[in-house]
Amino acid sequence: MFFGTGFLINSYITYLEVTTGTIQWHYPLLVLGVLLLIMRVQFVCTGLLGELISKSTRRESGRYVIRAQLSRYEPPAGFTVKKRNGVPA
């Protein structure tokens, strides 16, 4: 919606410039057209950033790794701890 409206407004301003040589008193309309185009770009960029953030924080099932850390305590019953070079992994 923003892009289409902004494009039409700016096309009209360009038409005025080409046919009459001036945009006369349509400067506020020019500002509105440019503002709408900029808003379109802002919305697209915000949407892309939102998609990237949601995709990077999404967890896939089966990717969780549970590691027990031994310092003074023993792991609960049923847990096994792999050791690498004598240190719990």
In a domain, 75, yes or no: no
pTM of the predicted protein model: 0.57
Q: What is the pLDDT of residues 37-73, one digit of tens each?
A: 999 999 999 999 998 888 777 665 555 555 555 455 5
Q: What is the pLDDT of residues 24-33, one digit of tens each?
A: 898 999 999 9
Q: Which domain holds residue 45?
A: 2-57
- In three-state secondary structure terms, 88 is strand
Burial (CB count within 10 angstroms: exposed 0-12, middle 13-18, buried 19+), residue 40: middle
In a domain, 79, yes or no: no
* Other CB atoms within 10 Å distance of the CB of residue 17: 14
In a domain, 8, yes or no: yes
In a domain, 66, yes or no: no
Cα–Cα distance measured from residue 66 to residue 58, given in angstroms and rounded to the nearest whole number: 18
Closest CA to 35 of 76, 72, 80, 3: 3
In a domain, 6, yes or no: yes
In a domain, 68, yes or no: no
The helix-helix angle for 2-20 and 27-57 (nearest 10°) equals 150
Q: What is the pLDDT of residues 2-22, one digit of tens each?
A: 789 999 999 999 999 999 998
Sign of CA dihedral 7, 11, 13, 14: positive
In a domain, 18, yes or no: yes
Q: How many domains does the chain have?
A: 1
In a domain, 67, yes or no: no
pLDDT at 88 over 80: no
- Report pLDDT for 31: 93
